[in-house]
Structure 1
Amino acid sequence: METKIFDQSQLNEAAAILAEGGLVAFPTETVYGLGASALLPNAVAQVYQVKGRPSDNPLIVHIAEPEQLEPFVDNKHPFADKLMETFWPGPLTLIFSIKKDSLPSIVTGGLSTAAFRMPNNTKTLALIKQAQQPLVGPSANTSGKPSPTSAAHVQHDLAGKIAGILDDGVTQIGVESTVLDLSDPTAPPVILRPGAISKEQLEAVLQTKVLVDQHLVTESEAPKAPGMKYKHYAPNTNVMMVNDQDWSAAMAWAKEQQLKVGVLAGPTIAEQVRFEAAAIYLFFDDSVEAATKGLFAGLRALDESIAELDILFAPTFPESGLGAAYMNRLKKAANQSFFQEN
């Protein structure tokens, strides 16, 4: 199968493929999604097959306007409208209890709930409208590997397996949306996956406490939302997290072990390790925003480096605000492994 790159002028062609049950990857503000009609079980089955994704892992349904929820959701949480008014379109996914049989069970992972989001990307919103149906959109990559933040990443993983890719350059945020569980209208909202919309932002809008589910789902458990597995987003090369004060010790340990080290870092750390590292992926500055935007691209670039690296070191950040989303992805990419000096 030829995988075609679509631009703005070819939205009609891409939408027609989706409406007929084909797969087209699309851009969002977070990462690229692998699009298929959420109403066609055979199309959704292809998504699982192409990604190599476990079928118990539910998919997020992408819509172009809040009104598209109506066929699926009838008992909304009292906070739902406020959240949609404030954060949609944007990187917030909401989980609702849905009407029986309103979505194919292959979309929901067999659950009585489903996740919905309205992405902040004008091309993709237009694509959903032209397809005239909601789209599933898990990250457009091989399951478990770093998510794609450019059309080139999608092409690397899925060329020849899907009909097309709607190209809109590099994504703005770089990690997947915040997932908020609103499935019980009588219960407080619960963050199942952190993202760019932080706990603090949600609480400021809702004027109430928002809970955070810290549970890590093992391979034998069925997650309620994507990205909850214990290990996820991982390249083939082992990843290790390094705290600010430990870089010198970490590089010395790697040298002693005769390991070829790749480093993801901003300019300050990069300057500190530049003589010891075999390869460096440089974030555009030292901020958590830069690290978040560059994390998946950096993991991919170093994993595929001609230097044939033995280990990847990545910096840590405080787990508040966007740092919670960054550390959530990094911990799973590193299989929870921190460098610790003996």
Structure 2
Amino acid sequence: METKIFKPNQINQAAAAIKAGELVAFPTETVYGLGADATNEAAVKQVYQAKGRPSDNPLIVHVTGVDQVRKYAQPLPAAAEKLIKAFWPGPLTLIFELQPGALSKSVTGGLTTAAFRNPDNQPTLDLIRESGVPLVGPSANTSGKPSPTLAEHVYHDLNGKIAGILDDGPTRVGVESTVLDMSTDVPTILRPGGVTEEQLEKVIGTVRSSHHHVGAGEVPKAPGMKYKHYAPNAQVYIVDHEEDWPAALAWAGQQDGQVGVMALAATIANDRLPANAEFFTLGADMQTASHQLFAGLRHFDLESPVKSILAQGFDDQGLGAAYMNRLNKSAGQTHFTNK
């Protein structure tokens, strides 16, 4: 299969592929998603095959707005209406109870709920409208690898496996959406992301953050809760504190192979990198670090292969919760220690 690159002025061609039951990756403000007609079970099953994704890992349904959600979900609670008004389109995914039989088990993982998102990217909204159906859209990468923030990342992983990629340049946010479960008594964050807990609580009051570990025989309600995610080829080591960097860089200089270093510009500015280390800047602050995280992991996979990566850790508050959620998973919870 030839994977075509569609530009935003070729939406009709990308939509024709979706209507034909094929897969087209699309841009969002967070990461690129792998799109298929959410109402076409055969097409949805192809998403799992192309990614190598476990079939019990449910998919997020991308819509153009709340009216499309109402076709499939049970009546929405008042709190959900407030959140939709405040954050859609944007990086917030909401989980709702479904009308019986509204979506196939391939989309829901066999659950009675589904996750919906209204992405903040005009070409993708145009693609959904032109296709006439909502689109499933897990990250457009090989399952378990760092999420794609460029069309080139998608092409590397899925070339020959999907019909096309709608290329709208680099994504703006860089980490996936916040997933909020609205089917529980108290709205519960299942995955931190671009909308913080504090922002949610300003709109609807108390929300919870779930720290539930999904067991081997349990179906997760949202992506990223059960399986290995975001892992580059190299082993990632999280450097938790700025005062740990001199020891971390000394350790890097003692390694036989190349070592990648990912940190804020100011963190490394006064340190001398060892000869076998390459620096990838995470920018100036938490906002830029979140935006650059996947790009850095992809850089060391595709452009400058290394055996190890030292990555800067942050407090898991606000946007830092999303950053550390992804970084901990990419590192397999491995932290640098000088002991």
Q: TM-score range by the shorter chain?
A: over 0.9
Give the superposition deviation at 1:230: 5.8
Give the superposition deviation at 1:188: 1.0
Match of 2:281 in 1: 282
Taking the aligned partners of 1:249 and 1:16, their CA distance within structure 2 comes to 55
Taking the aligned partners of 2:92 and 2:121, their CA distance within structure 1 comes to 13
Match of 1:189 in 2: 187
Give the superposition deviation at 1:260: 2.9
**Residues 148 and 296 of structure 1 are in contact (CA less than 8 Å); yes or no, is this contact kept in structure 2?**
yes
Segments of 4+ moved more than 6 angstroms = none
**Residues 253 and 276 of structure 2 are in contact (CA less than 8 Å); yes or no, is this contact kept in structure 1?**
no
**Residues 219 and 230 of structure 1 are in contact (CA less than 8 Å); yes or no, is this contact kept in structure 2?**
no
Taking the aligned partners of 2:13 and 2:284, their CA distance within structure 1 comes to 41
Show CA shifts across 1:134-153 (max 9, x none).
Answer: 00000000001000001010
Which consecutive residues of structure 2, in runs of 5 or more, have no partner in the other structure? none
Give the superposition deviation at 1:21: 0.6
Give the superposition deviation at 1:232: 1.2
Moved more, 153-162 or 74-83: 74-83
Give the superposition deviation at 1:220: 5.0
Taking the aligned partners of 2:321 and 2:216, their CA distance within structure 1 comes to 23
Amino acid aligned to 1:203: E
Match of 1:118 in 2: 118
Show CA shifts across 1:77-112 (max 9, x none).
Answer: 231100000000000000001011100110000000
Give the superposition deviation at 1:43: 0.1
Amino acid aligned to 1:58: P
**Residues 231 and 334 of structure 1 are in contact (CA less than 8 Å); yes or no, is this contact kept in structure 2?**
no
Show CA shifts across 1:255-282 (max 9, x none).
Answer: 3454531111221233324235522212
Match of 1:245 in 2: 243
1:324 corresponds to which of 321, 324, 336: 321
Taking the aligned partners of 1:274 and 1:256, their CA distance within structure 2 comes to 12
**Residues 288 and 322 of structure 1 are in contact (CA less than 8 Å); yes or no, is this contact kept in structure 2?**
yes
1:312 corresponds to which of 301, 309, 313: 309
Match of 1:296 in 2: 294
Taking the aligned partners of 1:219 and 1:315, their CA distance within structure 2 comes to 31
Q: Look up the SS of the partner of 2:86 in the other structure.
A: helix
Aligned pairs, number: 337
**Residues 30 and 176 of structure 1 are in contact (CA less than 8 Å); yes or no, is this contact kept in structure 2?**
yes
Which consecutive residues of structure 1, in runs of 5 or more, have no partner in the other structure? none
Match of 1:8 in 2: 8
Match of 2:80 in 1: 80
Taking the aligned partners of 2:13 and 2:227, their CA distance within structure 1 comes to 39
Q: Look up the SS of the partner of 1:42 in the other structure.
A: helix
Taking the aligned partners of 1:95 and 1:156, their CA distance within structure 2 comes to 31
Match of 2:135 in 1: 135
Match of 1:165 in 2: 165
Give the superposition deviation at 1:304: 3.0
**Residues 251 and 276 of structure 1 are in contact (CA less than 8 Å); yes or no, is this contact kept in structure 2?**
no
Show CA shifts across 1:210-264 (max 9, x none).
Answer: 1000123355542110011363110111101002221111122233454531111
Moved more, 227-236 or 268-277: 268-277
Show CA shifts across 1:21-52 (max 9, x none).
Answer: 11000000000000000000000000000000
Could you tell me the TM-score, scaled by structure 1's length? 0.95
Taking the aligned partners of 1:273 and 1:108, their CA distance within structure 2 comes to 50
Taking the aligned partners of 1:305 and 1:135, their CA distance within structure 2 comes to 31
Match of 1:27 in 2: 27
**Residues 217 and 230 of structure 1 are in contact (CA less than 8 Å); yes or no, is this contact kept in structure 2?**
no
Taking the aligned partners of 1:340 and 1:220, their CA distance within structure 2 comes to 34
Q: Look up the SS of the partner of 2:95 in the other structure.
A: strand
Match of 1:174 in 2: 174
Is 2:208 the partner of 1:214?
A: no
Taking the aligned partners of 2:228 and 2:89, their CA distance within structure 1 comes to 29
Give the superposition deviation at 1:310: 1.7
**Residues 216 and 230 of structure 1 are in contact (CA less than 8 Å); yes or no, is this contact kept in structure 2?**
no
Amino acid aligned to 2:225: M
Structure 1 residues 257 and 10, CA, compared in 2 at 3 Å: closer, same or farther?
Answer: closer
Of all paired residues, the percent bearing the same amino acid is: 55
Taking the aligned partners of 1:286 and 1:8, their CA distance within structure 2 comes to 31
**Residues 92 and 117 of structure 1 are in contact (CA less than 8 Å); yes or no, is this contact kept in structure 2?**
yes
2:223 corresponds to which of 223, 226, 229: 226
